[in-house]
Structures are given as C-alpha cells and as structure tokens.
Amino acid sequence: MTTKLSMNAAEIQAWLVSNLAEVLHIQAEEIDVTQPLDSYGLDSTQAMVIVTKAQKMLGFELSPMLLWHYPTIEALSGRLAEEAQESQQETKSLVDTNSTPNLAAEAVLDETIRPLSTSFKFNPNPQNLFLTGGTGFLGAFLIHELLQQTDADIYCLVRATDTTSGKEKLKKNLEAYAIWDEQFSPRIIPIIGDLSQPQLGISTEGFEMLATNIDAIYHSAAMLNYVFPYSALKAANVLGTQEILRLACQIKVKPLHYVSSVAVFESPYYAGKLVKEDDSFDRWEGIFLGYSQTKWVAEKLVKIASQRGLPTTIYRPPLISGHSLTGVGNTDDFVNLMTKGCLQMGCFPEVDYMLDVSPVDYVSKAIAYLSRQEESLGNAFHLQHPEPAPLSTLVDWLSSFGFPIKIIPYEAWQDKLVNDVTSEENPLYTLRPFLLERWSEKQLTIPDLYLKSNRPIISCDATLNALAGSGISCHPIDGDLFTTYASYLIQSGFLNLESVINN
C-alpha cells in the first residue's frame, strides 16, 4: 500500500457515493449522504468491497468497522479527509477494535415483560405458530419442517411493504432452497413487521391479536453480519428479541423457541473448556464480534424471561452448512468463501481448525422435533456436529478429487493473501481487511481466533439423548457430504472447476 492521496472531504464524498452506488447496483442520485449507511442494507461483503477500494485509493489502512463508527457518508468523508492529511507519513487503523461494550450491563429485560400467569399447559398440537426469519436460510428450513411435523398455520414476520410482497418474498426464499410446496402455501401467512421496531413494527391491535391467538413462537431472525459493531446490530438482535419476549408474555403464555448460537461461549474464558448444554454462559469479556455480542445479550434476555416464568427452549447451532442430501445452502457463507478463495490461491493455511458445521436439515429437523417435546422446555440444546472433522479432512478430499491444493504454513498463507490476492475475482480479496484485522487484547486475527486452541469444546451429549429414538441424525462429515456440496456449488455456478484448475 504505497500511494497516499491527499483528497479533500468533498472529493472523498463523491468517490464514496459513486462506489456505494456501484456495489448496491443503484444510481448515485439515490444516495443521500446524510442517511445512515445501514439504511442501504449494505452487507458484510459489500462493506468489505468499499473498505478495500477506499484503502487502495487513499493508501492507508482502514478498519472495516469504520463504516459504522462514522455512519453517514458525510461523516465518514470528513473523517477520512482529516486522516488522509494526518497519515501522510504514518499507516494506522482509524478505530479501536478492542472496545467491547459491557454486555452484562446490556442484558436488562424490560420489567413489564413477565408472564401474566405461571400456569401453562403444554400443547403438543399447536394450531398457530409465529416464526421470525422465514426469509432467511435456517428459517426457510424451519418453515418446511414445521409444515411437515405439525398441522399448524405459520405466521411469519416479514420485512415487506404489504402482505402480497411479503408472501412472495417467503415463497421465493423457499423456492431458492428447493423446498417450496404449493399445497402448503395457505398455511404460510405473512405478518408485515420489523424486529428492530417497538412491538415488531406491528399495530397494537395486530400485536394483541397475535398475542391472543398464537400457541408458540420460533425466533430465528437476526442480522448476521460479522463486520457491524454491537451498536449497529443491537436494535434487531437484542431489542428485537425483547419484543419477541413481550409477545410471548402478553395476554397468553406462549413457549418461545429461540435460535441462539454457540457464539455465546466465544469469551476466551471458555477456550479449551468443555461446555455442556446446561452450563452457564455468564462470561462475556473478550467476545470480539459485534454479532456474537448481540447473541450473548439476547440469550441472556431469554434466560431472564425464563426465570420470570416464561417457558423457553434455546437452540445453539454451530455454522450451518447446506442440506446433506441436496447440497442446497448459502453460497456466500464464510466456509464456502474461504474454500473458493483458497482453491483459487492453490493453498490452505496449515491451521488446527475443526469444521464446526452442521447441515441445515439436521438443525431444522432437530429444532422442530425438540420443540414439540414438553421435556425440552427450560433446556438448551447444542446442534453441534457430534463428530466434527478437522479442516485437513476437507483439504484431503479436495486433493483426492484432483484439485491442485497444498497446505502451507499459516504465515506464508497470510503473506500470499496480502501479495497475491489482488483482485475481486478471489472472494477473499474483499475479506482481506476482515481476515487481517487484529482484534482483542491479544491482537489476534480472525483466523487466529478460530484455532482449535482458542475455541470451547461444545458437548452435544444431552441433545443426542433428547433426539434418541426420533430418527434424526447428523450426516457424517465425509466424502459423500463433500461430493454433495461440491456438486451443488459447481451446478449453481459458485465454483468453476476450470478456473480453479487453470489458476
């Protein structure tokens, strides 16, 4: 990074507007420089594209967090112009990525949210379910499973302008995952709203109607963004969960099935420790990603509601991979992007990583089944793969299939990432700032933080016991599974064998 341009705020602003318009595929005129950047729905990858390009243009290092510390283009341009002047000699990061909010102080549940009655009768045949996240990955498969495993109608919270477009959004999402079945269509009912708004953005009348009529809630929605800080995700992930708890407690007591994450054990305190389903997750210090911080606080809110008498069940998945039989999944998830990027580089880093992934069919089937067992209430479940495999299994499999791939020392891989990955043709190019940023007191990079020695050992014994006899099992991480995934990734155009082999 050698070129250092001295640009003024107006020039930087014009540059940002045109580049934001480009990544969002909209006209520059549609961008209002005084509007918060997150109102444009910028995702992690798009944010990385902007940061990487800005870094190249200005000639100094930028933290990906910058976009959210200076949340409008106007504010960001001003700050970058100041920094461009100051940093003529020096290269430094512009934000302190080590600051963690006091998560324990954030975990305060509105006092008015408590079940009106402590008497609750479990209903094994619910008629009306409320589900969030139905336009997302796991949510789509949860809808699919709940349609199969119950007779209930499913009321789905959707961000859309009206019920017609809301229904269309749900349908398109299930179609994209090859699980849309027209005969079930009447049982999928959109409820227009937004997690980040009071009462989920639903009118008081509508909220009360739902509170009276629904029998159980499945809360799967969240903003999954590994770049945004806690403050940018709090409204949807933390306050949204609070509104879900309000709905669960209001008028009639409804059990809440909350999709959390193994990320609640991301504090370095748990590194190398065995954590079981019913272990406390009180330690939050050092959780570095804003997303994980919100999942910790949100699960604490659910815990508080449970202590106030609300029946709740917690499901903690690891990374969720594609369907084990069809391979259909999220192509732009971290594992897929890393695999594609490393294939293009011709090498994987030599790191002691475990493939902590569970196929989406296992996760969704297990949640739908466990949620219908009365004894699940009050418990947490770990949907961890029972036999996780080391990353080297994936590399061995890729090699045995003729992919030209080597394992090289981690430092050499990082150097290659900096020096050889120089265009957006490699998906790791836009992830470079994220992968190379130093986080936490120990100044570790994201890949360092995922080393086996820095991770907890997640036990899933109690979950497997609870699933015993259900016929639900997790597909082994083996050649069959990799073949299924690779076929889908090639067929969908995400992986191009020729370009990998000729690289």
Choices 188-196, 273-281, 475-483, 495-503; region in contact with ligand NAP by CB under 6 A: 188-196
What letter represents residue 341's amino acid? G
Q: Which stretch binds ligand NAP (CB under 6 A): 49-57, 133-141, 344-352, 426-434?
A: 133-141
Contacts of 297 by beta carbon, 8 Å cutoff, 6+ apart: 103, 106, 107, 234, 237, 238
Two tokens, residue 169: 């959004």
At 294, is the secondary structure helix, strand, or coil?
helix
Per-residue contact flags (x/-) with ligand NAP for residues 247 to 276, judged by CB under 6 A: ------------x-x---------------
Query: Under the criterion CB under 6 A, does residue 319 sit at the interface with ligand NAP?
Result: yes
Tokens of 40: 């444009």
Encoded tokens for 472: 């639900």
In this complex, which beta carbon is closest to ligand NAP, that of residue 192 or of residue 253?
Answer: 192
* Segments of 356-396 assigned E as strands: 357-359, 380-382, 389-390
Tokens of 298: 């949100």
Q: Does 71 bind ligand NAP (CB under 6 A)?
A: no
Give the closest residue to 40 by CA, choosing from 71, 4, 3, 85: 71
Of residues 196-215, those binding ligand NAP (CB under 6 A): 196
Closest distance of CB 58 from ligand NAP, Å: 31
Which of positions 74-93 make contact with ligand NAP (CB under 6 A)?
none
Residue in the shown chain whose Cβ atom is closest to ligand NAP: 136
For 19: left if phi > 0, alpha if psi spans -120 to 50, otherwise beta; the answer is alpha
Min CB(244)–ligand NAP separation in Å: 10
Q: Which of 317, 327, 388, 427 binds ligand NAP (CB under 6 A)?
A: 317
Comparing CB distances to ligand NAP, the nearer of 63 and 220 is: 220
The torsion angles phi and psi of 279, rounded to 5 degrees, stand at: -70, 150
Question: Amino acid letter at 405?
Answer: I
Q: What's the angle, vertex CA 181, arms to CA 176 and CA 183, rounded to 5?
A: 155
Q: Is 292 in the site for ligand NAP (CB under 6 A)?
A: no
User: Which segment (58-66, 118-126, 220-228, 457-465) binds ligand NAP by CB under 6 A?
Assistant: 220-228
CB of 322 to ligand NAP, least distance (A): 11
Site for ligand NAP in 149-178 (CB under 6 A): 157, 159
Integer Cα distance of 187 and 128 in angstroms: 9
The CA-based angle 120-122-124, given to 5 degrees, is: 160
Residues in contact with ligand NAP, counted by CB under 6 A, come to a total of: 24
Nearer to ligand NAP, 115 or 139 (CB): 139
DSSP annotation of 196 reads: T
Residues that bind ligand NAP (CB under 6 A): 132-133, 135-139, 157, 159, 194-196, 220-224, 236, 259, 261, 295, 317, 319-320
